[in-house]
Amino acid sequence: MSQSQHATQHNFTSGNVCFVQSYAKINLTLDVLGKRPDGYHELATLMQTIDLYDTICLSRIDEDRVDMVCNVPELSNENNLVIHAAQAIRQKLGLRQGLAIELHKRIPVAAGLGGGSSNAAAVLQALQQWWQLPLSQDDLWQMAADLGSDVPFFLTGGLALCEGRGEKIVPQVANLPEAWRWLLLVKPAIGVSTATVFRQLTASDYSTGSWSRAVQAALQNQQPLFSSDLHNCLERGVLEQYAEVAQARAAVLHAGASNVRLSGSGPSLFSFFPTLTEAALVQHQLQTQGYEVYLTRALTTDGSPIHFFH
């Protein structure tokens, strides 16, 4: 029996079974620099893993195939990224060892929280460690990047500056202001397609990358940061296009939050609080209005709570 802590996954293996925790992310900042010839957008985004996770149970099976069940019925099919990740590894190494995957989702789906990407990275990393595969970090990174723009970030997690289409990762020392100790996530009752949100961008939404780089520098130097320093270039389009998100944003502010931002392509919104009491009060108010709300916090690469500065 062994227990290991690598990157954002907590793995627990026992004989033929391996359990993995697969964490969600928020985008503290998200700059879109412009559209690339390949159709993707050039990004600079500061991503941070948070204490909200799916659980994945991997078991060896005798047959040469990958099976999967999920507690969210519409995700129980071969398009699930956990199957793509397992098949990518089997194909790359010509493995015939079969696998059964149980996926228990807690991270809201299509919510801007990176759940599918996190699950894919968790499977890549768990199989690499559990089966002691001869894959380099570069091999893993390439497989992750082929699975999706956000997947490489989840191989390291914690806090990172992500550039290119999101796949170029520069890990940062996880270090946030004291005022950001508690994190409230509000998930409006709609799913949002990432591709649609990018399609609706206009040139006036683009930035130079300066929002993310300024916040990165302030965090590294432990300088004061304000909620107005955080920016997401996708937010304008999402607030205009989806009334549910604009309403939820207004409700969060009305409930007493001093800051609120969209995570990724949304629809999830996040707010920071210095104390648990303040966060819990706002959470309670929003829950009584019927909102889906999560009270959580930021994590380091090994899944432990991060360091805060004054």
Ligand X SMILES: Nc1ncnc2c1ncn2[C@@H]1O[C@H](COP(=O)(O)OP(=O)(O)O)[C@@H](O)[C@H]1O
Annotated binding-site residue numbers for ATP = 108-118
Q: Is 150 annotated as catalytic?
A: yes
From the candidates 25, 54, 105, 187, give the one annotated as an active-site residue.
25
Q: Which of 82, 126, 155, 230 binds ligand X (CB under 6 A)?
A: 82
Name residues contacting ligand SUD, limited to 129-188 (CB under 6 A): 148-150, 165-166
# of chain residues touching ligand SUD (CB under 6 A):
19
CB 152, CB 167: distance < 8 Å: yes
Between 43 and 126, whose beta carbon lies closer to ligand SUD? 43
Nearest to 11 by CA among 55, 47, 46, 43: 55
Between 9 and 80, whose beta carbon lies closer to ligand X? 80
33 burial via Cβ count (<10 Å: 0-12, 13-18, 19+): middle
45 binds, among ligand SUD, ligand X, none (CB under 5 to 8 A by kind): ligand SUD
Q: Which amino acid is at 50?
A: I
Contact string 2-41 vs ligand SUD (x = CB under 6 A): -------------------------x--x---------xx
Helices (H), the chain: 81-93, 115-130, 137-147, 151-156, 194-199, 210-220, 235-241, 243-254, 276-288
**Smallest distance, ligand SUD to C-beta of residue 101, A:** 19
- The C-alpha atoms of residue 86 and residue 65 are separated, in whole angstroms, by 10
Contact between 308 and ligand SUD by CB under 6 A: the answer reads no
119 binds, among ligand SUD, ligand X, none (CB under 5 to 8 A by kind): ligand X
From the candidates 31, 54, 105, 150, give the one annotated as an active-site residue.
150
Task: For 73-107, give the DSSP string.
Answer: GGG-STTSHHHHHHHHHHHHHT---EEEEEEE--S
Q: Is 105 annotated as catalytic?
A: no
Between 103 and 260, whose beta carbon lies closer to ligand X? 103
Does residue 250 come out as left (phi exceeding 0), alpha (psi in the -120 to 50 range) or beta? alpha
Catalytic residues: 25, 150
